[in-house]
Structure 1
Amino acid sequence: MNEENQQQLADEDEESLLARHRREKKELQAKVQSLKKAKVDKKKKKDLQEEIGRLEDDLESRHAEELNRLNTLKISESSDADQHPNEPEQQQPAVEEKQPKLSKAQRRREKKSQEDKEREAQIKAEEALHKDSPRIREDKKIAEILAKRGLISFPVPADGDCLYNAIKHQLSRIGVHDHETADLRQLAADYIEDNRDQLIFYMTNPQSEDVMSEEEFRKYCFQVRNTKSWGGEIEIKALSSSLRCPIEIVQASGPSPVHGENGDPARKLVLTYHRHMYRLGEHYNSTVPLLAEKDDDGGEDEQQDDG
């Protein structure tokens, strides 16, 4: 958020902020309608749809952040008023007291605690705007399913690598630290190429829905290996087989499919699949045990720093 937006937010109360949000949404809707009316070919139409999605996501993200900041400011002001009622302002000392140096593990815990608070505030801000949106309903259902199993969703960035980063995080949970995101993409592409005859019947052109041609298949594998193209069921099957790990996908509706379910249960990876988290497409998150989420970065790091 730039300085101009920060100053604007500081001068607004909740009512005027929400009024501005409504006005900006109407302006964006008008712009989107104008873009949709433009006459373009199929390729440019796809680019146009992605651009519209980005504009909508950027606006929604900024609005949530602004509400988050306003709510945080309110909480801070309320807390200060409760702790220091009618207390006159005191002049700050010229020299600040030197703060005790924190250990590496303590800094990590404090950083994660702050990130958790900000994420929770953003979720509450979004819930205030979209109390019954498909995203909120989906998130609640997935959270209920995970809670029954003693798990909680662990967010990964929505940058095109979400499937691979979620699997990478799951591998680290079972002690496998050998694979970076690029390595997982390479594994998936290699498996798809090596098993073309078995997979090709599930791989279709998104426009014609016909089975991919040889050229389309090669292009597909190139994108898996070298770009940030989203991963889906084909890549999950490929990685489950290559890593010899069952991969379960928890989703809000329907059963939770397990790819490679005949593999070692001790190496099972559990991901969550979200249809409505982002407008540009599907998203995958990782999972962690509830207790691990509450006490992450403890234990071993503490011993290393203090030793």
Structure 2
Amino acid sequence: MEDPQSEHQRMLRRHHREKKELQTQIQAMKSSVPKSDKEKRKQLLLDVARLEAEMKQKHQQEMEKFQERFPNNSSLDSVTEDMAKMNLENQPPRLSKAQRRRERRAVRERERQERVAEVERELLATFRREEEEKIAAILGARNLEMKAIPVDCHCMYRAIQDQLVFSVTVENLRCHTGNYMQKHINDFLPFFIDPETGNAYSRDDFMRYCDDVVRSELWGGQLELRALTHVLQTPIEVIQADAPVLVIGEEYFKKPLTLVYLHYACDLGEHYNSVKPLEAGAIGGAAPLLS
């Protein structure tokens, strides 16, 4: 028969192992429940408390039964003390009060940032949905619907390309746009202003900008649309959810190309889409001579 000290030591080791296994189980339970699900998190805390209480009661009952079997064995105290030391040695080092405060602050800050990010995502989704509903109503009244254009730095040129009845590449549109702006610098330079400071750019700055229009993935805006109306000899209208229709190139009398300008369409920022008739068909007139 095994002596009391060995049996007691074995029981304490088993208790230690069972506690570690329970903590692993609890960690897995916590990981399986999303923080956003408050009802499930509440139930999780109740389940964790129940499991810990059940194990504590079980170990306490086993210890009491053991002591009833061996009431006068004084050597068990040293074994119990050694096991307690072992438990402490297997725990992570204690943090100072200042460290614990810093960790709590860091946790609270992470949670705050997560809440802010979630609110921002919800607001963006709301703005996006409202914008799309307004655009759909405007286009529907004109027997049109929005046509999605890939989200990248070429979206304005791609939307124009989509509506032309002749074949042209985005690179070709960029090339003609930049060249036209350079040849007619006096028509564009007064409107070429730093959006942050309001200061006018120099001629050299403008010429470099036109080079970027041709050679880089520079986003297109009103200056480029103005140039394109002259290059294509066709008016361009831009539909927005909360602004009047912007028509550029009214001096031309062809059927305008129609773009949709979206503020909240994508995480990258503003975006241009094309349009199409509710019954499929091409938009635009005969091909002009690109000069």
**Which band: TM-score by shorter chain?**
0.5 to 0.7
Identity %: 31
Q: State the match for 1:249 in structure 2.
A: 238
SS of aligned partner of 1:292:
coil
Q: State the match for 2:266 in structure 1.
A: 278
Structure 1 position 176 matched with structure 2 position 175: no
Which of these residues, 162, 165, 168, is aligned with residue 155 of structure 2?
A: 162
Task: Give how far 1:180 is off.
Answer: 0.3
SS of aligned partner of 1:241:
helix
Which of these residues, 125, 140, 144, is aligned with residue 151 of structure 1?
A: 144
Structure 1 position 221 matched with structure 2 position 184: no
Q: State the match for 1:208 in structure 2.
A: 197
2:189 and 2:203 in contact (8 A); partners too: no
Q: State the match for 1:269 in structure 2.
A: 257
After superposition, the Cα gap between the structure-2 partners of 1:262 and 1:218, relative to the gap in structure 1 and judged at 3 Å, is: closer
Distance 1:137 1:17 in 2: 29
Listed one character per residue, the Cα deviations across residues 54-84 of structure 1 (whole Å, up to 9, x for unaligned) are xx8xxx7xxxxxxxxxxxxxxxxxxxxxxxx
Give the partner amino acid of 2:146: S
Structure 1 position 288 matched with structure 2 position 282: no
1:248 and 1:257 in contact (8 A); partners too: yes
1:1-307 matched pairs, under 5 angstroms: 16=34, 30=113, 133-171=126-164, 175-177=165-167, 179-266=168-255, 268-292=256-280
Task: Give how far 1:130 is off.
Answer: 5.8
How many equivalent pairs are there? 179
Q: State the match for 1:114 in structure 2.
A: none
1:274 and 1:282 in contact (8 A); partners too: yes
Task: Give how far 1:241 is off.
Answer: 0.7
Listed one character per residue, the Cα deviations across residues 143-201 of structure 1 (whole Å, up to 9, x for unaligned) are 10000000000011111000000000011xxx221x10000001110111111111111
Extract unaligned runs of 5+ from structure 1.
1-11, 20-25, 34-55, 61-128, 297-307
Task: Give how far 1:134 is off.
Answer: 1.5
Extract unaligned runs of 5+ from structure 2.
1-30, 38-108, 283-291
1:168 and 1:181 in contact (8 A); partners too: yes
Task: Give how far 1:132 is off.
Answer: 6.8
Distance 1:131 1:153 in 2: 20
Give the partner amino acid of 1:176: F
SS of aligned partner of 2:226:
helix
After superposition, the Cα gap between the structure-2 partners of 1:131 and 1:284, relative to the gap in structure 1 and judged at 3 Å, is: closer
After superposition, the Cα gap between the structure-2 partners of 1:291 and 1:246, relative to the gap in structure 1 and judged at 3 Å, is: same
- Give the superposed CA RMSD: 3.2
Give the partner amino acid of 1:271: L
After superposition, the Cα gap between the structure-2 partners of 1:289 and 1:198, relative to the gap in structure 1 and judged at 3 Å, is: same
Q: State the match for 1:74 in structure 2.
A: none
Task: Give how far 1:291 is off.
Answer: 1.7
Task: Give how far 1:27 is off.
Answer: 5.7
Task: Give how far 1:218 is off.
Answer: 2.0
Give the partner amino acid of 1:270: T
Where relative contact order (Cα < 8 A, 6+ residues apart) is larger, the structure is 1
SS of aligned partner of 1:270:
strand
Give the partner amino acid of 1:242: V
Task: Give how far 1:131 is off.
Answer: 9.1
After superposition, the Cα gap between the structure-2 partners of 1:183 and 1:29, relative to the gap in structure 1 and judged at 3 Å, is: farther
1:130 and 1:136 in contact (8 A); partners too: no
Structure index of larger Rg = 2
Task: Give how far 1:227 is off.
Answer: 1.0
Distance 1:217 1:193 in 2: 8
Task: Give how far 1:17 is off.
Answer: 10
TM-score normalised according to structure 2 size: 0.55
